Amino acid sequence: MIRLLRFLSPYKGRAAAMLLLLFLQVLGTLYIPTLTADIVNRGIVTGDLDHIWRVGGFMLLAAILTAGVSVAVTYLTTWIFSIMGRDIRNALFQKSQSLSLNEFNRFGTASMITRCTNDITQIQQAYMAAIEMLLPAPVMTVAGLILAFSKDTLLAFSIIGAMLVVCLFAFLVSRKALPMFARLQSLLDRITRVLRENLTGIRVIRAFNRSDSEKERVDQTFTDYAETAIRINKIFAAMMPVILIIMNFCTLLIIGAGGQRVAAGRMQIGDIMALIEYAMLILYYLIMGIMVFMIFPRAQSCANRVSEVLSVQPEAPGTPRSHRDSNEAASPARLELCNVTFQYQGAEEPVLNNISFSAHKGQTTAIIGGTGSGKSTVASLIPRFYDIQSGTIRIDGRNIRHMPKRELRDKIGYVPQKAFLFSGTILDNFLHGKKDAGMEEIRHAAQVAQISDFIDSLESGYQTCVSQGGSNFSGGQRQRLSIARALVKRPEIYIFDDSFSALDFKTDARLRAALREEVRDAAVILVAQRISTIMDADQIVVLDEGRVAGTGTHRELMESCQVYQQIAQSQLSEEELA
């Protein structure tokens, strides 16, 4: 919790004003019982109406000022911690964008969503409760006891006794409740994960007729969360009546003992009223402070989870331009992979071993291989979604680990294996590639991607709404829209990660022919499983179990590479092989 207080730094002035007003609120609250005692002792008992009106006016003014200060404190507290929550969410989102996929996968999507939403809300609420309830508690307790002792020492000790009983009871309750808060947080993560799996995998669930079993799994998750929450609420429900009994017993003790002391002439009636109010205020703020302490472990758990993400150091953030290695020289190849070895976190063996090849400007380099050979992994390493364990990857002679990630990714147009579209419009998705792209550029990219006729046939054209993930389009349409988005960017390197797999052969051929003219000034990396997609590539790299099994053109590989021959024989007819 303390580490996140740095987000308050820009608002120090308002925070200081909030604390000052909070102190004044406590003083105003304590001043009113003193005035009440004065009215009773010197006004009501003696029948002095002038004194009653005069002190009553002061009391009304004090009450109005205290209420105004309280409103100001609440406003400042809400404003400060709402803005603080916004800043933490922004920082968390920015950090998530800078993490490699290895680092991101440590947390998982469901957990990251919970950290950005519920966890930060819990932190905000804990801070606000601490300001409004916890910070005033020690001031209220000390000042209230001083005033109570000034009225009557014996009855002041009865207030201290009630405080000790409340603290002991709260300690016993907290020992049982605190572990439940930690479990509640983990169950919330589980709910997010299970819901996300069911909502994103709804087609698979229905296809395998698993709706009933998944419903049972979701119900069990909700039940576990509800049972834990109910147990916590039962504890708090039992806590409040006990505390009220303690407070009422303290009141009865003050009235009973105070009545005897009034009868003996040792104190006045107004002092009893003041002592009762002091006792209620002290016990109220003490109880609220204890309640805040009880929710703090949950908030602390949330803060630790948020800090865990914020404290992650990127595997290799990239060296600034001014620190570029002087040994890096210009290279005729636009992209080079030299002895690249990569192993996924937690894997038993590398998925790529000593991969080397180069891609030149104006040429298409295709990568093909069997399932699990590492094709898509190569595509993920170039934009540094993952960092390699050994070897180097260079763009125009520069090691990509020595480049800021933003600069590196500005050079790359990436079309992922699973085409993904953002909610909004088709135009919005194209502008992801280039924010200031004109309509001519966008229409041209759509024509090259063989999607312009489809867009023009839509009633709203480029303003057609896109559902989340592009679920209102077919697989082939999503792929072509994703390709067009990359073409709008006009990068130096294009990476197509099996991006033509959902296209029919006719559309595939037209698209590749149009691409050949469009990307003459760029290097193209084309990952594919269909030989028909890559036959015309200037260079084909064949991967087999994470190693380069052959490099060359289609004709050369048909003569020299056994792995490529096997793939060709499984996909092409005898006429095509001939």
pLDDT value at residue 108: 81
pLDDT value at residue 572: 77
Max CA distance (Å), the chain: 121
Amino acid letter, residue 178:
L
pLDDT value at residue 417: 84
Which tens digits make up the pLDDT trace of 279-303? 988 888 888 887 787 777 778 888 8
Angle in degrees, 0-180, between the axes of helices 269-310 and 12-39, rounded to the nearest 10: 160
Same domain? 292 vs 422: no
Average pLDDT over residues 413-423: 89
pLDDT at 430 over 50: yes
Q: What CATH number did the domain enclosing 76 receive?
A: 1.20.1560.10
- For residue 354, what are its two tokens? 């000593």
Same domain? 290 vs 417: no
* 210 occurs within a structural domain: yes
Burial of residue 19, with CB atoms counted within 10 A of its CB: 0-12 exposed, 13-18 middle, 19 or more buried:
middle
More confident residue, 319 or 163: 163
Last residue of a domain, one of 310, 340, 374: 310
* 462 occurs within a structural domain: yes
Percent with pLDDT over 70 in the chain? 96
Same domain? 380 vs 493: yes
Same domain? 128 vs 270: yes
* 319 occurs within a structural domain: no
pLDDT value at residue 322: 46
pLDDT at 448 over 60: yes
Place of tokens 């636009």: 334
CA separation for the pair 365, 349 (Å, rounded): 27
* 323 occurs within a structural domain: no
Same domain? 115 vs 218: yes
Which tens digits make up the pLDDT trace of 224-269? 999 988 988 888 788 778 888 888 898 898 888 888 888 888 888 8
* 380 occurs within a structural domain: yes
CA separation for the pair 462, 460 (Å, rounded): 6
For residue 245, what is the enclosing H or E element?
A: helix 211-263
- For residue 204, what are its two tokens? 């698979």
Q: What CATH number did the domain enclosing 496 receive?
A: 3.40.50.300
Same domain? 345 vs 275: no
* Count of alpha carbons within 13 angstroms of residue 240, beta-carbon side: 6
* 512 occurs within a structural domain: yes
For residue 210, what is the enclosing H or E element?
A: none
Same domain? 349 vs 217: no
Same domain? 259 vs 336: no
- Of the pLDDT bands very low, low, confident and very high (cuts 50, 70, 90), residue 201 is confident
User: Mean pLDDT lowest for which of 67-71, 133-137, 556-560?
Assistant: 133-137
Phi/psi of residue 330, nearest 5 degrees? -65, 150
pLDDT value at residue 258: 86
More confident residue, 320 or 43: 43
Same domain? 226 vs 184: yes
Q: What is the mean pLDDT of the chain?
A: 87
* 40 occurs within a structural domain: yes
Same domain? 189 vs 228: yes
Which tens digits make up the pLDDT trace of 70-128? 999 999 999 999 999 999 999 999 888 888 787 888 888 878 888 888 889 989 988 99
User: Mean pLDDT lowest for which of 276-280, 319-323, 461-465, 549-553?
Assistant: 319-323
Which tens digits make up the pLDDT trace of 363-416? 999 999 988 899 999 999 999 988 898 999 999 989 998 888 889 989 999 999
Residues shown for the chain: 578
pLDDT at 331 over 60: no
Number of domains into which the chain is organized: 2
CA separation for the pair 519, 360 (Å, rounded): 12
User: Mean pLDDT lowest for which of 321-330, 359-368, 552-561?
Assistant: 321-330
pLDDT at 326 over 80: no
For residue 158, what is the enclosing H or E element?
A: helix 153-200
- For residue 278, what are its two tokens? 């002091």
pLDDT at 329 over 80: no
* 431 occurs within a structural domain: yes
pLDDT value at residue 440: 93
Place of tokens 């996300």: 196
pLDDT at 576 over 80: no
| Alpha carbon 244 to chain centroid, angstroms | 40
Same domain? 248 vs 338: no
Same domain? 275 vs 336: no
pLDDT at 358 over 50: yes
pLDDT at 324 over 70: no
Residues 499, 417 contacting (CB under 8 angstroms) = yes
Give the residue numbers spanning the domain of 53.
Answer: 3-310
